[in-house]
Amino acid sequence: MRPHLRTPARASAYILVCFLVVATTFAMGYVTRAVNAPAIRDAPQFAVFWEAWNLVDQNFYGNKPDETTRAHGAIKGSLSTLDDPYTVFVEPRQRDREQEELRGSFGGIGVMVGRTSDGRIILTPVADRPAAKAGILAGDELIAVDGLSITAETPFDDVLAAVRGKVGTAVQLTVRRQGSSQPLTIEVRRAEIVTPSVSWELEAPDVGYVKLSIFNERTNDELKQAIQELHKQGATSFVIDLRNNGGGLLSAAIDVASQFLEDGVVMYERKSNGTEKAYPVRDSGALLEDPIAALMNSGTASASEIVAGAIQDHRRGSLIGTKTFGKASVQLLFDLSDGSSLHVTNAHWLTPDRHEIHGVGLTPDIEVEITDQDRQDQRDTQRERAVAYLRQQRQATPMSSTGN
């Protein structure tokens, strides 16, 4: 934020990027909040900047970037002086992707797009999505979009941007198909493509497994649906998988943690001046009594650490796996006038017991490493340990009875 789960990519000349699953911009785990940008203030110190660029304009031998590229480069260079990897500038195209991921949906046609080692763009349609219904076949080579030629030099992001667009609009794809002597032009009407952030399945007759991949606007509703469906299937305890979840929206993290907690605080936000803000549990959760175990690893960061920290401090369940990433800073998100955005670190968050996580991470209650041999054997020993833990919890819980 499936029914599909993420696995480590295998080395291949054929790189697949799915239009159904947006490549995450939360590799380091942003927790974001949208706010209005402040007014720009003139600074006389910037006179030397323009002085330098005028000299470049007058004297540089070679191709100079356009003004937009220069401006973006200047912003990135200025931010690097802050020495904070989470205060970043995001260019418009990447910002569009970021917004799509946080919404959990976008206007697209439902295909997987791959680039071969020689630069060709290969399409694989997803069943029952617009591209498949329009006649796109697996293996079709994309050579033009709306008449614009696609070559080996065309940036991959440009290809994705050309195919995506407003829901309900049409796009013309020109493809080269094996066995056809002439290229084919096929019109596809864009639809809303939903990118699930939660997947689930019944792990054992009484154990439900729920995987959260990101925290976006849809995550809380998807989690409630997962819990409801698994309860119907007989689940009485749950594995909550937060591994390789790099974060997302702060509000989604609070909502998700609230599904497991009856009351109290989910987290504290601490500003640089020492002031704190408490984020209490919201409403009544859907999973307040059944035993839970949360899986985590070094890819568990930011919003997912908020949830894991709340579970641990409230003694709601055990954390199983390896130490988390340790990204506990909050970024304010400013949308800029040209469609780009600015993420500015504004605070750190603390667990309900006020543990500092930033740069430290969370330590699991039960440490379980996945070895190279486990991977070769395709064994998920952390998941297995979580199921065993939940069964032990059930066996240790005394049964109540009444006598006549």
Q: Which residue has the tokens 């959760």?
A: 285
Structure tokens, 395: 């066996």
Report the distance separating Cα 98 and Cα 380, nearest Å.
Answer: 30
Q: Is 327 a catalytic residue?
A: yes
Structure tokens at 300: 């568990």
Q: Is 313 labeled as catalytic in the residue annotation?
A: yes
End-to-end CA distance of the chain: 51
Q: Please state, in angstroms and rounded to a whole number, the distance separating the CA atoms of residues 230 and 196.
A: 17
Q: How far apart are CA 293 and CA 36, in angstroms?
A: 39
209 in Cβ contact with 294 (< 8 Å): no
Question: Phi and psi (nearest 5°) for 124?
Answer: -135, 110
CB atoms within 10 A of CB 311: 27
Q: Is 284 marked active-site?
A: no
Distance separating alpha carbons of residues 300 and 141, to the nearest angstrom: 37
Choosing from 105, 304, 318, 327, the catalytic residue is: 327
Active-site position among 213, 313, 318, 340: 313
Phi, psi at residue 321, to the nearest 5°?
135, -130
Cα separation values, 343 from 26, 302, 333, Å: 12, 14, 5
Task: Extract the tokens encoding 220.
Answer: 């809380």
The size of the chain, in residues, is: 404
- Out of 199, 237, 302, 341, the active site residue is 302
Catalytic positions are 302, 313, 327
